[in-house]
């Protein structure tokens, strides 16, 4: 009896992708997000900033690496579906996306989807 497992997959690397290079059906993930904070939050730092200036930070989202399947694209927005069936709207001006290897993404997608289905009846 043969079974496919994640250990049989060759290691792959996710590649950063611009919104205009995406296509419906691609599997993507968030790599990092840019967030702006008002400069008055840096009040006690040695840096002198204008009170009207924004401080831009690049953050790694907690859901980085989770696969999303692209459903529609209307730049700068990308509409994608999560394994749980929810829709996610991604603003490509603030979020850097990576295209996932299709074979790897499909395997992870199925595993996450099975986990969601198992949890659903228990919550009712």
Query: How far from each other are the two terminal CA atoms of the chain, in whole angstroms?
Result: 36
The verdict on pTM exceeding 0.85 is no
Each domain of the chain, given as residue ranges in start order, spans: 14-118
Give the containing element (helix H, strand E) for 119. Answer: helix 102-123
Tell me the pLDDT of the chain (124 aa) as tens digits.
455 555 566 788 888 999 999 999 999 999 999 999 888 776 656 667 777 788 889 999 999 999 999 999 999 999 999 999 999 999 999 999 999 999 999 999 999 988 777 776 655 4
């Amino acid at each position: 009896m043969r079974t496919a497992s994640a250990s049989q997959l060759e290691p792959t690397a996710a590649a950063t992708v611009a919104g205009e290079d995406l296509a419906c059906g691609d599997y993507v993930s968030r790599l990092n997000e840019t967030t702006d904070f008002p400069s008055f939050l840096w009040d006690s730092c040695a840096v002198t900033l204008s009170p009207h200036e924004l401080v831009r930070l690049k953050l790694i989202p907690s859901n980085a690496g989770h696969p999303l399947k692209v459903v529609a694209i209307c730049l700068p927005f990308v509409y994608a579906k999560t394994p749980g069936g929810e829709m996610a709207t991604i603003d490509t001006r603030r979020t850097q996306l990576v295209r996932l290897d299709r074979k790897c993404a499909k395997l992870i997608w199925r595993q996450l989807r099975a986990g969601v289905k198992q949890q659903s009846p228990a919550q009712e």
